[in-house]
A and B are shown apart, each in its own frame.
Chain A
């Protein structure tokens, strides 16, 4: 059985290594690895970057891309970018996003939401933290019509919904400034982007230097904005990552101790018999 186990392990390893090659039809360039703050078993979100990324999303992406699975209050949830605020120079935690002044301010600044008042009239009222973010289209057909037939995907879970996740999003956003190879035929309404499967994308290059003004004074280069908005989207796709990892650390520690105790108990019990 020992030989068999070894062969099994080797074959399993070969399969795992081989899997990425199975992804997607059409050629594309493998995205660049970036050193994200959330990489690794102890990685956390860089909240400043997520905040800046939200600003980029709102000022640049939101015109075409919705985040329909998020509500505004999520920005202030535990693990969210606005959970802690600097109030009079002190870092203050807001356990309830509904009371979070930054979240409330963001909600009120957004496009008003349609609602029905208590006598049945359709009204527009300012958004509250419990409301969803405004969606750019009433329906998919409208979204296609507004974008030359290509429907801009929802970005709520885009980082989980793409191979290579955050690295892909970042590389894609920075990947426009490339020379078009001769064998690629860029049709009208398409742009060359080597990171997109098939290398053609309907989204025009959107990021330009200094197109947003960061509140914290960070220079808004294309790379900075691509990094930041990817941080935001990574958080949006996996908002519980930090509690997941910290809980994982405790669970693993517990299981290791339990395994050791059980192993000691097992050895003790089996020491009575030859086996």
Chain B
């Protein structure tokens, strides 16, 4: 009887190799199987496809603001008054906590001037005519505070635009962070004027 009850008896390398190969193969499979179970939690195809929201500008009066949903996130749409635009334009970019425009229509490193924040940066569909003044006074930004995601209150705070009630971040009339814990300016979504009175986000 050739009974060897000890599990780790002997030391031939070929035997070790086959066990190591089998165990490694099993480990590879185990690792590969994890991916579908992680990826299923990513946004599904229908969620990703809900790409665009159209905003009718005709009803918006100067100084008025509406909050709309775009990709399940609230966004501010504000037709700013001339003085609000002027206030924002007079701020030196170098004095800002966040000097980047955070505008999806521009390069990542575009400076946070007011022109770079306003709808002047929006694409214009073929054959659509729209005045520069209107584009400059229109501001569309995310309504999620870049600190921890609360929706800032309109018309509050030291800069007359938005103030986040959660942790006290102050934004100016260009949606830029000026004081408080928020690290970045409110981001601006991709925008296209598809008619003289309709702005499409996404």
Interface residues of A (CB under 8 A from B): 71, 73, 77, 97-98, 117-119, 125, 128-130, 254-255, 257-258, 261-262, 264-265, 268-269, 272-274
Contact = CB atoms under 8 A, between A and B. Distances in A.
Interface in B53-111: 54-56, 59, 66, 68
Contact of A265 (B9, B22, B51, B66): B22
Closest 5 CB pairs of A and B: A261-B22, A130-B49, A272-B4, A265-B22, A258-B25
B13 to A, nearest CB: 12
A129 B9 CA distance: 65
B1 A130 contact: no
A118 B56 contact: yes
Contact of A273 (B4, B56, B68): B4
A262 B49 contact: no
B50 interface: yes
Contacts, number: 63
Contacts of B1: 274
A254 B29 contact: yes
B167 interface: no
A268 B19 contact: yes
A130 B54 CA distance: 14
Contacts of B52: 98, 128, 130
Contacts of B15: 268
Contacts of A262: 22, 26
9 contacts: A77-B45, A97-B49, A117-B54, A118-B54, A118-B55, A119-B56, A254-B25, A258-B25, A274-B2
Nearest to B52: A128
B68 A129 contact: no
A98 B50 CA distance: 9
Nearest to B59: A119
Given A117-B56, A118-B55, A71 B49 contact: yes
A118 B66 contact: yes
Contact of A272 (B10, B25, B49, B50): B10
- Most B Cβ at <10 Å: residue of A73, A77, A118: A118
B40 interface: no
B18 A257 contact: no
Interface string B156-192: 0000000000000000000000000000000000000
A257 B25 contact: yes
Interface of B: 1-5, 9-10, 15, 18-19, 21-22, 25-26, 28-29, 32, 45-46, 49-52, 54-56, 59, 66, 68
Contacts of A97: 49
A98 B51 contact: yes
Contacts of A254: 25, 28-29, 32
Contacts of B54: 117-118, 125
B3 to A, nearest CB: 6
A258 to B, nearest CB: 5
B26 A258 contact: yes
Nearest to A255: B29
Contacts of B21: 261, 265
B6 to A, nearest CB: 9
A80 B152 CA distance: 43
Contacts of B68: 118
B46 A130 contact: yes
A131 to B, nearest CB: 9
A258 B29 contact: yes
Contacts of B25: 254, 257-258, 261
A115 B1 CA distance: 83
Nearest to A77: B45
A241 B145 CA distance: 43
Contacts of B56: 117-119
Contacts of A130: 46, 49-52
Contact of B18 (A98, A119, A265): A265
A272 B9 contact: yes
A262 B21 CA distance: 9
